Structure 1
Amino acid sequence: MKPIHKILSFASVCLLMIAGGCNDFLDQVRYTSEVEQSQYYNTVEECNTTTQVSYRYIDYSTWWETLNWRFLSGEASSDNGWLGNTEGATAEYLVVGHYNIDAGNVRNEAHWIMLYKSIGRFNSVIEGITNAPIDANSKKLFIAEQKFLRAWCYFDLVRNWGGVPIVLKIHTPDVHLPRSTARQVYDLIINDLKECAEILPRRSEYAAADRFRASKGTALTLLAKAYLYAEEWQNAEIAAKQVIDMGDYNLEPSFGTLWGYNYKNGQESIFETQYASSASPDLPYNDFQKMIQSSPDGGWRWYSISSHLEKAYKAEGDSIRLQWTINRHGLPVAGDPAKPAYNAGTRSQTKSGRYSRKHYVPVAQRPANGRVALNNKILRFADVLLMHAEACAMQNKSTEALASLKRVRDRVNLTTDMSLTGWNLINAVRKDRRLELAFEGDRLYDLRRWKDENGEPVINSVFGPNGSFVKYNTQTSTDSWELGNTRELQNKGINFDPSKHLLWPIPTSQIVASEGAVEQNPNYF
């Protein structure tokens, strides 16, 4: 089905966002009263503009509310990374990465609040478009886009906190909704995404300038991921296979192509957040990127990469993904001839001397105004192949699993043992997910959701006093950077408690605001 509504480019939508970014634009267009809705939702063009602006709210606000959590939780709380900034590390960061977090943590609270603020915006736009005097087909398309964005937010909520309150419309302040179960949240996500996949056009039906928008393939990809987290292996296989067979996406021939500064919405990209460098007009730019680089590179040196991850690449002979994932002190930066030797800073500044190449901008391409236009990749085709491989492996469909796994490994010149079956195959797919997707925000959630042969969460064997990552760092590691800087403790993860840390705590402020309708996760106080 081709979209019949008028398509505006992302840049033209952003022209409507005056100084201060999209916040100011949407703050002028409040959706909570019938008068304001009737003043704005009058035409297809108005509804389309509002829908496009909504994409800004996948990453709701500035660096620390949303993007910061993706790496603080998804990577620095895993075996892939450290907090890293040992001169500026503050307690609210350290307690998350080192599993001393309590329910009052402000970073944990900020991400919860921002996700619900985004959901509120999507719900209000759905309400406004539902009542708009426009044709039914355009209305269905716009609402499906909003439901995809809302599904992403609920997916992020459920994988961080488990069952959460489901909010689907605007409520008055005196309404306090209790937590739904995790299964109910997944059901909402799955049902909405199935609906979206039926309504949204294929990516190939969008004009090039509009391929940032949710499409049939985007909805099916997140659907496959939701099924994977819900352990519905057959459904995950089916959804991922639909994306594979669609033909709208493919792997880039070179892994490094993905991490070019100007790579935006390419053939491997399924969904990414959009950024630009312009200050006049004031367009959204990636102000998180500087946070994840070294001081000599103009960064804030947060989220350094662990030697444990580097060793995993080396053990696999995976030199291509290693160099395009990790910038290492003293070694050349992949794709940047201006950096024959990366400078990670002094050993007192950083825990490991390793930073993300995936979020690095080559010197020659850095904008003079400092407003980095590097897009953030949320969903991409290699992830689909690995989801398909995992879902098939979990059903003992070795041939199908190996075919998808091989496509990912072939790109980086790694051989695939086509005789793998059972747990050997499952673990091979899991290993490749780590190497392919490192520092894209998923590692902790994979460790939490994976089960071992005894049905126990894999993370239980990685962290805790006897965890493999803890033992590596305290007993085996010879890395001079990490061992030489104990401002961030070497025993990271030793405090992990499987009775509580498979989820994060519900923020105390939200329990209080709900007047007790929202209950805390187990063993948090």
Structure 2
Amino acid sequence: MKFKSYIVTAAACLALASCSDDFMKDMKNYDSTTPEAYNYPEGANGRLQDLYMLALPYHYNGALPFSAPSSGEADDMAKSTEEYSGFGSFVNPQIELSATSNTNGVLDFFQGQADKIRNSAWGRIRDINDFINGVTNSSLSEQYKSEFLGQAHFLRAWCYYLMFRWYGGIPIITEVLDPVPQKGAPRSSTKETYDFIMQDLDIAANYLDGKVAGQNNYEYGRPTVASVLALKGRLMVLYASPLFNRANDRSRWEDAYKFFQQAIPEINRYGNYLAYENNPGTNASNWAKIFIEGASEANPEAIWFAQYNTIASGGTPDYSKNNVWENGIRPSNSFGGGGKTPSADIVDLFPMKDGKRPSSYNSYTVLNPSDISYNKDLPFLDRDPRFYRTFAFPGVCWAFEGDAVNAERHYPYEGVNYQLWNYVWYTKAEDRANIENSDTYGPDGLLGNVKGMYIRKKTDDLHVMSGYRYVFSQGNGFKFSAAPNIELRYTEVVLNYAEAACQAGHPDVAVEQLKKVRGRVGYTGDCGLQANLASDEAACMAAILYERQIEFAYEGKRFDDLRRWMLFDGGQGTVPGAPATWKLTGWGGNTCSYLGFAPLNGTRRENMEFCVQEKYNGGLGGDKWGSDGSNPDPLKDVERCAAIDYRNELEPQLTTLAEWYNTYLERKAKKGDSYNSDHQQLYMDFRPNYYFPGLSYGAMTANPTIEQTIGWNNVANGGAQGTFDPLAE
């Protein structure tokens, strides 16, 4: 790997100063150091905290950098799934990604900024290697060395995993390379890279043996053996999946299955387990808690995560670490960031309350449809308990701590009494029939900022926990939030185990894991799972992927599942120059057919809204409040029913709300994915070579000796076809 010139100053005194014991709540920049600093626990810990700043899976708002996995935001990956509409880079039919130009360039998860060590994927690996070398050769006690080296090897494994999942084989760098240009290291094979990550995780586990979060001065948030084992299990399942295992080598699944059998008791021993198992609370309130419980609750669901604080940016920016999610999902009239819009597709595909797919959802057809009729005009009726904790729609309570009453913005509620009424109206009759029209308006001060539906997942809801993790103000809304961002949670371990069990020939074990997950949100008995799952491998696997889609919605996991199971086209596409080993021969040669899953290629996603029926002033209103205080809402004189309060029995409230909808509102499709210039619909198109993205233009020009991936052109070699095979042993 070639590094461009970095200047690293000697500043051991900086690394020794002001190290806080309150881990990850006031991390400073200890990037610059000298070998002598590693001889002191304070200096080594200061340097380690800087590594956490570089490597933690932070919640990003906007373009996703190389250093972070998707976390539920509307990034390029999430917009390539059913969760959001609006073509992400990977499914845009009008733009083909390129590795030979910065125009429409393939996303870069390999390098980052080559000339800036803190913004470079290899820069942070260099820093970790420097830390490992410095601590190993230091005069620290063996106790300190073990604690520090265990964390560093985990962080290095994590950084390599983030690249491995995209590219397979990548250069393995364990030395501290001089910060000057030099010949690039070659890409190791995928198997060599996989083995290296596994080795780093094994080393980390040995060093961290006995280190329990929150005990004996080992702060909550640092990785434990549970973190190591959870990441190792995720990696093993990825390596066994169709993306890396085209012929379905069963030994990979068997290895993963045996691993989980041994690993799960160890993970439990370190304080992680299925929180609130068989204890859903009222309307799955305990499931909603797991996303916002933090250090003070020692959340057993959280295995690998980032913590935040409520400190505003300003005089000491290194101290300010705010989670942007809460502000992003809250509607604008509660002084949030305006809200995030789910696609109509994911709203319609959530299970019914009997645990089965809606009969109108024509995917995973090896799974039995529900006998409960799904009414698309009233999508909140009779749904899986997680539906109500994932989405918000007109007529629900969404309480928060803070006073948002604001006469100028025509918002009437205090936060503790917040009700979301986001029905819409139009200003012109012709707009009602125009799906591309975006001129809709909503009540209670929403006006043009209204969303037809809102994402509610992971919200810090005052009706769920009396404690809250934000500092609210009308000027900043929920920007200063300290809610954690959980990247690896225990439920993923359970579902990874289920997947390995199913594919290793133990579907009965997989079914038991599915029951555990569903039992936490209120299912009992067979938990809505059809009887043949324990004997039908394909149906069992479909049930697992469907469960993951619901359980992990808006947690950044869906794109990875679609890609590793090749569900954009079932693995039917061909990549120019690819050898015969790239042909999918396992799973009947087509993963979509095997699962009864409708491929995403050739489909599109729309959004939805609930508009005022035409009989009320034509469903038309104004676009602003009048200077005389006149309300533009065509339903301004209509008495609203009580908003849904999830602390109370749900069914009678939903019945009342449905009656109100039937009287006043109707569902309308709203444009999601793009149309062309002739107003014709466009459809998702994930090209076959996207399953293994190529190295970007910037990465190839900075590293001209490195091999490009098959299926992508090499700008450093005159545009010739790539030669690196991610599937070669």
Q: What TM-score results when the alignment is normalised by the length of structure 1?
A: 0.81
**Secondary structure at 2:89's aligned position in 1?**
helix
Over the matched positions of the two proteins, sequence identity in percent amounts to 22
Report the counterpart of residue 360 of structure 1 in structure 2.
459
Report the counterpart of residue 230 of structure 1 in structure 2.
239
Match of 2:224 among 210, 215, 227: 215
The CA distance in 1 between the partners of 2:494 and 2:160, in whole Å, is 23
Match of 1:406 among 495, 501, 515: 515
How is 1:290-329 mapped onto 2 (pairs within 5 angstroms)?
290-291=327-328, 294-296=331-333, 304-315=341-352, 316=356, 318-328=383-393
* Aligned residue type for 2:308: Y
Match of 1:82 among 80, 85, 93: 85
In the superposition, relative to structure 1, how do residues 314 and 159 fare at CA in structure 2: closer, same or farther (>3 Å)? Answer: same
The CA distance in 2 between the partners of 1:493 and 1:404, in whole Å, is 36
* Aligned residue type for 1:305: P
* Aligned residue type for 1:485: K
The CA distance in 1 between the partners of 2:595 and 2:604, in whole Å, is 12
Aligned-residue CA RMSD in angstroms?
3.7
* Aligned residue type for 1:395: A
In the superposition, relative to structure 1, how do residues 119 and 396 fare at CA in structure 2: closer, same or farther (>3 Å)? Answer: same
Deviation at 1:409, TM superposition (A): 0.8
Deviation at 1:226, TM superposition (A): 0.5
Match of 1:513 among 668, 681, 702: 702
Deviation at 1:292, TM superposition (A): 5.5
* Aligned residue type for 2:92: H
The CA distance in 2 between the partners of 1:468 and 1:96, in whole Å, is 12
Residue 158, structure 1, aligned to residue 290, structure 2: no
Report the counterpart of residue 285 of structure 1 in structure 2.
321
Report the counterpart of residue 360 of structure 2 in structure 1.
none
The CA distance in 1 between the partners of 2:98 and 2:329, in whole Å, is 25
Residue 43, structure 1, aligned to residue 40, structure 2: yes
Query: 69-78 or 371-380: which moved more?
Result: 69-78
Report the counterpart of residue 89 of structure 2 in structure 1.
95
Query: 228-237 or 381-390: which moved more?
Result: 228-237
Deviation at 1:325, TM superposition (A): 2.2
Match of 1:258 among 283, 290, 297: 290
Report the counterpart of residue 181 of structure 1 in structure 2.
189
Deviation at 1:371, TM superposition (A): 2.2
Query: 232-241 or 298-307: which moved more?
Result: 298-307
Deviation at 1:342, TM superposition (A): 6.0
Q: Is the 8 A contact 2:600 2:684 kept in 1?
A: no
In the superposition, relative to structure 1, how do residues 223 and 110 fare at CA in structure 2: closer, same or farther (>3 Å)? Answer: closer
Q: What TM-score results when the alignment is normalised by the length of structure 2?
A: 0.60
The CA distance in 1 between the partners of 2:557 and 2:233, in whole Å, is 15
**Secondary structure at 1:210's aligned position in 2?**
coil
The CA distance in 1 between the partners of 2:683 and 2:497, in whole Å, is 31
Report the counterpart of residue 120 of structure 1 in structure 2.
126
The CA distance in 2 between the partners of 1:302 and 1:10, in whole Å, is 36
Residue 454, structure 1, aligned to residue 588, structure 2: yes
Report the counterpart of residue 546 of structure 2 in structure 1.
431
Provide the aligned length of Structure 1 versus Structure 2.
Answer: 490
Q: Is the 8 A contact 1:389 1:404 kept in 2?
A: yes
Q: Is the 8 A contact 2:109 2:163 kept in 1?
A: no
Higher helix share: 1
Larger Rg: 2
Deviation at 1:249, TM superposition (A): 1.5
5+ residue gaps, structure 1: 1-7, 31-35, 84-92
CA shift digits 1:354-400 (9 cap, x unpaired) = 44323434487531463221211011111111011110000121222
The CA distance in 1 between the partners of 2:169 and 2:518, in whole Å, is 36
CA shift digits 1:151-178 (9 cap, x unpaired) = 1121111212333222222223213122
* Aligned residue type for 1:95: S
The CA distance in 2 between the partners of 1:497 and 1:460, in whole Å, is 21
Deviation at 1:130, TM superposition (A): 1.8
Deviation at 1:437, TM superposition (A): 1.0
* Aligned residue type for 1:142: F
Deviation at 1:259, TM superposition (A): 2.7
Deviation at 1:514, TM superposition (A): 0.3
Residue 494, structure 1, aligned to residue 684, structure 2: yes
In the superposition, relative to structure 1, how do residues 355 and 459 fare at CA in structure 2: closer, same or farther (>3 Å)? Answer: farther
* Aligned residue type for 2:98: D
Deviation at 1:300, TM superposition (A): 5.5
Query: 274-283 or 306-315: which moved more?
Result: 274-283
5+ residue gaps, structure 2: 1-18, 113-118, 241-251, 277-285, 357-381, 401-414, 426-437, 440-447, 463-467, 571-586, 611-666, 715-729
